[in-house]
Structure 1
Amino acid sequence: MTACWGSTFFLIKDLLERVPTVDFLAVRFLIAGGAMLVVAPRAVSRLSPEVRRRALVLGSLYGVAQILQTAGLAHTPASVSGFITGLYVVATPLFAAVILRSRISGGTWAAVALATVGLGVLSLEGFSIGYGEAITLVAALLYAAHIVGLGAWSKPADALGMSILQVLVIAAICAAAALVTGERGVVLPDRGADWASVVYMALVAGAAALLAQTWAQAHLPPTRSAIIMSMEPVFAAFFAVLLGGESLTGRMAIGGAMVLTAMLVVESLPRRKIEAEVPHIAV
């Protein structure tokens, strides 16, 4: 899942030179939602009204976060944006502790700290707070809220239906933003290679990845999920070097190793401690 997301960074960077941000997001998630409905047309109807409401909330959080994050990229260096977005690793246990009253173990907090430092080493070469950084930070907080909510509300039996409904909500939010901000409606890609990238990001890094996240978070606590997902920028750097023509640097290697170590630390914690951190609240 994180490898899929990481593989999209250099594709998106190239695609956004020709297609506006919200237009790309709208097309991506409309394709993802349509494909999921074709595969499982009755999955959403099987959800209870309560689960549908939860999926609407989660999809709204994710959709707004996507728009803010990509809008922030227009005003923020990609490396800084990646670091700030990765701060959901810090926000997730804070939200889980406050909202869900979860007990976060010392080992988990250590992994959070290590992952955060690793993200900084991997991403930062300079840092200042401006408009782009501010809205990207809001996006990170929304991602953290999404992770916490998904961890509290997701159940394996509902994963497919919740994923489809979330994707459809994200698509609707992005399409509305594209129609409001654009002068010519939704701008579509006009090159075959661009369409191939969009379809890959819609089906693999969109529909399949969100389904995997929804299913996995029915079994994992939010903080553990966030630390695992912090591997996304590591994979982004890996694919940028492998396929995007970038050069491997010592910062990439050290930062990536720190994030990987954080993931291994949290994975090595006793299972009984992890399970104590997963309250499935009823809302």
Structure 2
Amino acid sequence: MVQPGWPGFGPEEDSADGGDDVAGVRRGMKQRRAELAMVAVTIVWGSTFVLIKEALADISTILFLALRFSLAAIVLWFIYQKAVRTRSAGWKTLGPGALTGVLLFSAYAFQTAGLKLTTPSKSAFITGLSIPMVPLASSLVYRVKPRLMEVVGILIASFGMGLMTLPAAGLGINLGDVLSLLCAVTFALHLVVVSHYTPIIGFESVSVLQVVVAAGLGLMVFPVAERAVFHPNMAVVAAVAVTGLFATAFAFTTMTWAQQYTTATRTALICALEPVVAWLMSWWLTGETMPVRGQLGAGLILGGIVLVELKRPVSSETGGEAATSM
């Protein structure tokens, strides 16, 4: 059932005839709406890359994350406090919220810290390894095998991401690469965990609690984890506002809602669009050009997504694929 309170996606009444065909069509429509919403989120994430990179010159990593998640937590609590309060208290709700929040904060901390110690292209590709990690994590945790076309599509998209982001020569491993790999593992686990708990406690509760926990962790950790740097300027204010409101509050609410109607594997594949958007925004804002190698990689990423979409059965169950197997 579509959760009430999300604009444009209200609850629908059951069909009078209760036919399987009608139910299958409705499931397919919900899945497509959910996946289109995730595409919008991916565009938002890709568009913030240049903004965040510029802001980190004047604000320390954990402090930036603390402010970003704090702003998002305030907005989400204001919007969804009624829905969250109606949910049963206790570990049925708080436990999943704490787990998803820890994973969310850890993933972004690894990613941002790693970006300072390695090149952006290597960070982007290594973080993108979360794409093939998701079906592997789902198979291990939920004992569900990914579909063949999902695996093929993910491999193609991953290869395309490598062409886009990895240079032809000069590769080497450093601490930043290791942190980026930890980010990829954590993001994959976060996708799988959110996919499991959202149908159980509701997308509002997951969205609010995970961001509140992430904000709390950031505020507790930044005074002891790093030398706090904060030089307020328009770049910093804009980065905190845009990432807090759009790339966090809007994005994670949408992603959490959408994962009720699709799988963690498809979510990860759609997120492969992020480096494509980042390249385009970088070209538009900074004049960076994309070589033929990068253009080929972008085409392979899109091809992997199309391959999965063409082979997807419309009436198949979504969202609960992982949730019902634990």
TM-score range, shorter chain: over 0.9
Q: Residue 119 of structure 1 is aligned with which of 151, 158, 161?
A: 161
For 1:217, the equivalent position in structure 2 comes to 259
Shift of 1:130: 2.0
For 1:74, the equivalent position in structure 2 comes to 116
TM-score (norm 2): 0.81
For 1:13, the equivalent position in structure 2 comes to 53
TM-score (norm 1): 0.93
1:45 matched to 2:45? The reply is no
For 1:24, the equivalent position in structure 2 comes to 64
Cα distance change, pair 276–213 in 1 and its aligned pair in 2 (3 A): closer
Identity %: 31
1: CA distance, partners of 2:123 / 2:204? 30
For 2:222, the equivalent position in structure 1 comes to 178
Q: What do you get for the CA RMSD once the two structures are aligned?
A: 2.0
1:4 matched to 2:22? The reply is no
For 2:20, the equivalent position in structure 1 comes to none
Larger radius of gyration: 2
Whichever residue aligns with residue 212 of structure 2, its letter is L
The DSSP-based 3-state class of the residue aligned with 2:209 is helix
* Unaligned ranges ≥5, structure 2: 1-40
For 2:196, the equivalent position in structure 1 comes to 152
Cα distance change, pair 252–232 in 1 and its aligned pair in 2 (3 A): same
Whichever residue aligns with residue 49 of structure 2, its letter is F
Whichever residue aligns with residue 150 of structure 2, its letter is T
The DSSP-based 3-state class of the residue aligned with 1:246 is coil
Residue correspondences, number = 281
For 2:314, the equivalent position in structure 1 comes to 271
* Unaligned ranges ≥5, structure 1: none
1:98 matched to 2:140? The reply is yes
Whichever residue aligns with residue 138 of structure 1, its letter is L
Answer yes or no: is the 8 Å Cα contact 1:64–1:173 preserved in 2.
Answer: no
Answer yes or no: is the 8 Å Cα contact 1:115–1:230 preserved in 2.
Answer: yes
Instruction: Say which is worse superposed, 18-27 or 238-247, in terms of deviation.
Output: 238-247
Encode CA deviations 1:44-97: one digit per residue, 9 max, x unaligned: 323333133112101111111111111111111110000000000111000111
Whichever residue aligns with residue 244 of structure 2, its letter is A
Q: Residue 207 of structure 1 is aligned with which of 234, 249, 257?
A: 249
Instruction: Say which is worse superposed, 64-73 or 123-132, in terms of deviation.
Output: 123-132
Q: Residue 240 of structure 2 is aligned with which of 198, 221, 224?
A: 198
For 1:35, the equivalent position in structure 2 comes to 75
Shift of 1:272: 4.6
Shift of 1:188: 4.2
Answer yes or no: is the 8 Å Cα contact 1:103–1:277 preserved in 2.
Answer: no
2: CA distance, partners of 1:215 / 1:276? 10
